A and B are shown apart, each in its own frame.
Chain A
Amino acid sequence: GQNIDQPTEMTATEGAIVQINCTYQTSGFNGLFWYQQHAGEAPTFLSYNVLDGLEEKGRFSSFLSRSKGYSYLLLKELQMKDSASYLCAVMDSNYQLIWGAGTKLIIKP
């Protein structure tokens, strides 16, 4: 079967760095997405990785290793507004999205 695993909840301190991991097993691979979702709002696109390596975009970076079926989202200089759920999703060989359950990130002052 297909599945995406990511931690249910993480806590970090304002100003610190946090890494949210995502491992996947899917039938084929056409890219991995990270989204941020604040309660009651639609998911916001953060990143898309289809090749191995690190993609940096401001305070957020996303890493992919296709051979390991592994990705992480790195958030630097954490701010209180970063408190949200972070969703990992993989597009399989049929271009269908397989979603992780999301990681709830709690930022403490």
Chain B
Amino acid sequence: GAVVSQHPSWVICKSGTSVKIECRSLDFQATTMFWYRQFPKQSLMLMATSNEGSKATYEQGVEKDKFLINHASLTLSTLTVTSAHPEDSSFYICSARDQGGGETDTQYFGPGTRLTVL
């Protein structure tokens, strides 16, 4: 089946620094990718929808200048947490939408990236 990867799996950084997280669709092209944030035992909170070649659409309450999203190719979207602070520590999950044609329209999730800001 389709695979979505994220890199890095874990990242620890100092407060004030920026962190980039990559999301790749490995065997399909994804014109749309989604970025989520998850708190323990809670639902995934959609942060933004990333569309290849255009600006991301952010959910209400998500600071677009803090969470920069770039979807430069059909297989890669990046989330950059700028000037990270301890409250940004979380589990970030991406998903990629496979609209492979016909009736196929499935969302595949990545393994997540655990960010700890000291």
Q: State whether these chains interact.
A: yes
**Which residues of A are in contact with B by a Cβ distance under 8 Å?**
35, 37, 42-45, 48, 87, 89, 94-99, 101-102
In the complex, chain B residues 91-118 whose Cβ is within 8 Å of any chain A Cβ: 93, 106-112, 114
Partner of B93, one of A48, A95, A97, A98: A97
Give the residue among A45, A89, A98 with the most B Cβ atoms within 10 A: A45
List the A side residues contacting B45 at CB < 8 Å. Answer: 42
Does B46 lie at the interface of the complex (its beta carbon under 8 Å from any beta carbon of A)? yes
Complex CA distance for A45 and B41, rounded to whole angstroms: 7
List the B side residues contacting A96 at CB < 8 Å. Answer: 9, 111-112
Complex CA distance for A44 and B43, rounded to whole angstroms: 5
Asked if A35 and B114 sit within 8 Å, CB to CB, the answer is no
Asked if A45 and B42 sit within 8 Å, CB to CB, the answer is yes
Asked if A94 and B9 sit within 8 Å, CB to CB, the answer is yes
List the A side residues contacting B43 at CB < 8 Å. Answer: 35, 42-45
List the B side residues contacting A48 at CB < 8 Å. Answer: 41
A-B contacts counted at CB < 8 A amount to 41
- Dominant SS among interface residues on chain B: strand
List the B side residues contacting A44 at CB < 8 Å. Answer: 43
- A55 CB to closest chain B CB (Å) equals 12
Does B44 lie at the interface of the complex (its beta carbon under 8 Å from any beta carbon of A)? yes
Does B61 lie at the interface of the complex (its beta carbon under 8 Å from any beta carbon of A)? no
Does B28 lie at the interface of the complex (its beta carbon under 8 Å from any beta carbon of A)? no
Complex CA distance for A96 and B114, rounded to whole angstroms: 9
Complex CA distance for A4 and B111, rounded to whole angstroms: 13
10 pairs, CB–CB < 8 Å, chain A vs chain B:
A42-B34, A42-B43, A42-B44, A89-B109, A94-B9, A96-B112, A97-B93, A98-B111, A99-B109, A101-B106
Binary A-proximity of B22-34 (CB < 8 A = 1, otherwise 0): 0000000000001
Complex CA distance for A87 and B1, rounded to whole angstroms: 15
